[in-house]
Structure 1
Amino acid sequence: MKGPVIARSARTERVLTSLLGLVAVAAGGAAIAVGLGWLGAFRAQRPVLDPLLADWISTNPQWTKLIGIALGLLLLLGGLMWTVRALRPEHQPDVLLDNSPAGRLEVTSGAVTAAVSADAEALAGVSRAKARLVGTAEEPALRLYLWLAEGTDVRRIWQTLDADVLSRARSALGVQRLPTAVRLELDSAKPTRVR
């Protein structure tokens, strides 16, 4: 559960990029080994494109065009799918509090984040607060951004945040634990007018 709390997971993008990088490094290493003659002097003298393959391409131009178009479309489709997956909005779950036969009680993520933000902004020394509910409906997590006024005691804010704001959020959501990533920033001071 640590992943979605701190940041959106980019595991798939990292794995695919790493695999593509490894393939490119392996192809480059093989080309260098062949070019330097490490795999034999005869192979180093041969052209990059095998003569048999070059002959087949020149005698079958229709098949060559069809294969090239199909490979291009596959690469385009793969790139579009990768882009859509990387750019899709992050899921913000609604929390189901009660699903009894008498009725269903569900709290939207917007209501939770507005309440937590308002609760955090009420702390002395916090000038602004922004919350974001992430994870799943069964295991929600919270990202909390706090902008502190200059001279604020960070230790006191941290203790009050955990004892008051986050404990109220856990009890309101009916969960024992609510993983939370807190980002603290110093709010920019208001510009002073020079006279």
Structure 2
Amino acid sequence: MRSPVKAIARSARAERVLTSLFGLLAVAAGALAIVVGLGWLGTFRSQRSVFDPLLAEWIAANPQWTKLIGIGLGIVLLVVGLLWTVRSLRPERQPDMLLSSSAAGRLKVTSGAVTDAVSADAESLAGVSRAKARLVGSAEEPALRLYLWLADGTDIRRIWQTLDTDVLARARSALGVDHLPTAIRLELDTSKPSRVS
């Protein structure tokens, strides 16, 4: 049973890349400010104000253009921030699996049907009181997250072997894939305490 990152948790690669780019830009701006401030680019440049006087004169002479540019930059930043937030908060994709495609038609099974079947198959194992499956990734490269609640005293090694040889083997065969990366989480199912009469 292979368990890549996409089966274990949702990927945060895009957020990390964007955050790293913003961080690199901030570091570069800070390094440039230090270089200019120390006078490495000339003493005249280091003594000038941060806000260029020519730019300040242009802003004073063209207040309407300045307002329009400021409003435009604000809208662009707002849209980028909203898109980033929506992308980060959207639900994880659960792919439907295309089993066959021909001139007569296409046979597609929904993600919910796959997870219900795998959950029911896992719950049929002795010692498993509850099971919940989740199909993630893409239709071309699906991955499975399987949550199992075990009864007290269950042989975990037997459950682990049976999952691989029976439950996951049937799931791979039904989906027509050679590999179905799976992350499995095992928990002890705590029963409700009995009331003393």
- Check whether TM > 0.5: yes
- Greater shift, 42-51 or 76-85, is seen at 42-51
CA RMSD of the aligned region, Å?
2.5
Cα 1:59–1:109 shift into 2, 3 Å: same
- Match runs of 1:53-68 below 5 Å: 53-68=55-70
* CA distance in 1: counterparts of 2:59 and 2:122, whole angstroms: 68
Q: Which residue of 1 aligns with 2:52?
A: 50
Is 1:173 aligned to residue 163 of structure 2? Answer: no
8 Å contact kept, 1:150–1:189? no
Percent identity reads: 77
SS of the residue 2:54 aligns to:
helix
SS of the residue 1:106 aligns to:
strand
* CA distance in 1: counterparts of 2:94 and 2:112, whole angstroms: 9
1:61 Cα offset (Å): 0.7
Runs of 5+ consecutive residues of structure 2 not aligned to the other structure: none
Is 1:124 aligned to residue 132 of structure 2? Answer: no
* CA distance in 2: counterparts of 1:8 and 1:43, whole angstroms: 48
Q: Which residue of 1 aligns with 2:17?
A: 15
Paired residues in the alignment total 195
Counterpart AA for 1:56: W
Q: Which residue of 1 aligns with 2:81?
A: 79
8 Å contact kept, 1:127–1:149? yes
Q: Which residue of 2 aligns with 1:115?
A: 117
Runs of 5+ consecutive residues of structure 1 not aligned to the other structure: none
- Greater shift, 57-66 or 2-11, is seen at 2-11
TM-score, normalised via structure 1 length:
0.85
8 Å contact kept, 1:97–1:107? yes
SS of the residue 1:96 aligns to:
strand
* CA distance in 2: counterparts of 1:121 and 1:133, whole angstroms: 17
8 Å contact kept, 1:109–1:133? yes
- Match runs of 1:95-174 below 5 Å: 95-174=97-176
1:63 Cα offset (Å): 1.1
* CA distance in 2: counterparts of 1:66 and 1:74, whole angstroms: 12
1:156 Cα offset (Å): 1.6
